[in-house]
Each structure stands twice: as structure tokens, then as C-alpha cells.
Amino acid sequence: MQIRLPIDTKSLFFNIKNDNEAGHTATVSTPIRQYGGVDEDLVKVFKIDENVDVVSKEAIADKLVAKSRAEAKIVKVLVFDRISVNGEAIDAPASFCMYVREETAASNVHCGRQKLHYPMSLKYSDSEVEVNNKEVLKAVAEKLKNYAFVVEAFEYNTDTGILNFDVTIVGCNGIPYSKVFINRRGVGGKFSSVFSDEAVSYDAEIIAMRQKLGYRNVGPDNFGVVLSRNRSIAGEVTERYLLKSGCVAIKETTVEYPYSLYDLEYFREGIKHYTIIRFTSTKNLYFNLPCEKIRFCADFPDRVTVVLVSDVNGKPRINEYSVSEMNRMSKSINSVCYELTGGNYE
């Protein structure tokens, strides 16, 4: 049986650069019970065996409450020595530990609140167990080629004893926090359009767009709007295609993370795969990819495909390409970055 424990979106992430003036660090905890309510998914954590002996458990619990400023007790300690990420096993250098902490002071408004904690800084060692959460997260990052990622959920398999990190890759290593998490309301659409890597296609697309949609209906002033509508069409067509292909748990990543390196993620035979969606109003089979997405394809050649939806404003047609097929295509360079390094800047 698999027990899935979804955690708060901003509670555990890695390789994301904090570009804020203060705060905005990972909270590394998610409430289970508070204000009379219960998270029905997260409360399943109590069904998981602790997998740690009594002496080690008590020592870990004592360490966790030793510097607590509020009265609390540790009601459950979980230690996992078998780890996987997105369905693929990793060679973890230590065990990963999470625990449930309960507020106990009767005078505290939060009395009775329980949270699941999974701090990155947690380390503990004795003759029976070696816990080092940060080293485990580093191993997860290495498996993901050191891209920036957000942990969506922990998944524990009661039969195999494996703790799986269900993660979403959200960008290159060091991507700014402000690019990953949108804090202000009403900026999502603007944010997405600012960083769109499809806007360079105006010259190649405008004639076909006008032929299909009307010459007065598309121009420089609303090209972005039409492009966004075409992107939605391509996404719907691609999702239907993947469902028919037997893919499950399809998720549109760019809804939450506009600057994600891929558009859809899904599972095939228990392993997470990724799809980058491209589209064109023409019947020509071409697409543009920025350097970071090309690098992503190279890093995960067996997990990534590009789906090109051609004739998107007519009779959309699906064209799916593996990385090996893309490598055999002819290519052209759209831009080159010039940078002055060394020498005299004056």
C-alpha cells in the first residue's frame, strides 16, 4: 500500500535562490491538526511504522524539544533509509527523518495543534541510526541533475519501505525565488508573458495566423493574446493525446510554475516523465527551444519528449519527438549573448 502525504507548496524546496530582502525560506512543516480541523491526507502519517528503536527515538525527540520556546511533545518519529525520487531509487548517504510535533501548553492558543516537520538541518547519529536530512536532499538533487525543485508530497510504500519524494523541477539551479513563487495576486498572466520563449516566432507565425483567423483579427497589438489562446489549444490537444497513450497523473506544471522547464509531467510505468509543448499555426514542422530547455532535454533524454502541435488554428496535428530524434534535426541559432570579460571596462 502507498501512503501519500501532500505537503505545503513552499515548505520544502532546493536549489532556489532567495532574491527577497528578508524571509521566504522553506517552512519545512505542514499542519496536520489545527483550529479544530484535520488534514485527512496528512493524518495518514500515523499509519506509517516509525522504523527506529525506542532509545534512538527518545534521543531524537529530546534533541528536537530541547531548545523549544513553547511547551510541546514529539508524538511520532519516522526514519527512512530507503529513498527514491519521482519513482527512481537513489543511493542515499544517510536516513531521512520527519516527525510530528504537538503543542501542549494549555495557555497557548495553538494547544493541540500538530504539525509534520521535515527540517533540512536535522542531523542525528548513534550506533543504530544515521540521520542527515540535508545530505539526503543533496542526493535527491544530484539524481535530478542539480536542477531547482519543489517537493509536492512524500509517498511511503508499506510493502517496500521506500520513501519517495514526489518533486517538480521548477527551473535551473539558482533560479530566483520570485520567478518560482508568485506572491502578489493578479500578476500570473503578466509574469508568464514576460518570460515567454515563444514570442520570437512572430515572423514565422503571423501570416498563417491571419489566414486562419482573419487578417484584421491578429496583429502586433494582440499577438500575445492569440499566442496564449493557441498555447491553451495545444495543451488540451496534448493532454488528450497523452491520456490515450496510457499516461496517468498528468499535471500541467506551468499553471503553478510559469517558468518551468517543461509543460506537463505524468507517470508512465511508475516513473515520472516530462513533455515540452510547442505549437505552430503553420503546417511546417519546426519549433524553438531556449538553451535551458535544450540542456534539460540532454540531462533527461529518456524522460523528456517534445510535442509539436502543428496547424493549431486549423486541424491540429500531434507530432511527438524524442531527444534522439531532435538531435538528428537540422538546427539554426536565433541569438548569441555577447559579454565583455576582463580587460578595461572604462
**In sequence order, what E strands does the chain have?**
2-6, 13-14, 16-17, 29-34, 37-38, 72-80, 83-85, 88-90, 96-103, 114-117, 123-125, 130-132, 148-157, 163-171, 175-176, 248-252, 264-268, 271-279, 304-310, 317-322
pLDDT of residue 109: 57
Mean pLDDT on 272-285? 96
pLDDT of residue 199: 57
Bridge-based pairing of strands 37-38 and 264-268 is unpaired
What's the CA gap between 23 and 30, in Å, rounded? 17
Q: Mean pLDDT across the stretch 155-165?
A: 96
Q: Give yes or no for residue 267 having a pLDDT over 60.
A: yes
Whole-structure pTM value: 0.87
Please give the single-letter amino acid code of residue 39. D
Q: What are phi and psi of 232, to 5 degrees?
A: -65, -40
Q: Kindly tell me if the per-residue pLDDT of 194 is higher than 50.
A: no
pLDDT digits (tens, 9 = 90+) for 51-67: 888 999 999 998 888 77
d(CA 288, CA 29): 40
CA distance 207 to 149: 39
pLDDT tens, 205-257? Answer: 889 999 999 988 988 888 888 988 999 999 999 999 999 999 999 999 988 88
pLDDT band at 201 (very low <50, low <70, confident <90, very high): confident
Residue with cell 519521482: 86
Residue-level pLDDT at 345: 54
Q: If you average pLDDT over residues 75-81, what whole number do you get?
A: 95
Given this model, what pLDDT does residue 192 score? 42
DSSP letters along 8-32, please?
A: -TTSSEESEE--SSS------EEEE
**Averaged pLDDT for residues 142-168:** 96
Q: What percent of the chain has pLDDT over 90?
A: 65
Per-residue pLDDT, 188: 44
pLDDT of residue 20: 74
* Confidence at residue 334, expressed as pLDDT on a 0 to 100 scale: 79
pLDDT at 339: 87
Q: How confident is the model at residue 343 (pLDDT cuts 50, 70, 90)?
A: low
Lowest mean pLDDT among 61-70, 192-201, 332-341: 192-201
- Please, which pLDDT band fits residue 4 given cuts at 50, 70 and 90? very high
Amino acid letter at 332? Answer: S
Q: How confident is the model at residue 190 (pLDDT cuts 50, 70, 90)?
A: very low
Residue predicted with more confidence, 182 or 191: 182
pLDDT band of residue 179 (cuts 50, 70, 90) is confident
pLDDT of residue 184: 43
Mean local confidence (pLDDT), 167-172 = 94
Q: Over 70: is that where the pLDDT of 106 sits?
A: no
Band of pLDDT at residue 274, cut at 50, 70 and 90? very high
The predicted model gives 123-129 an average pLDDT of 91
Confidence class of residue 30 from pLDDT cuts 50, 70 and 90? very high
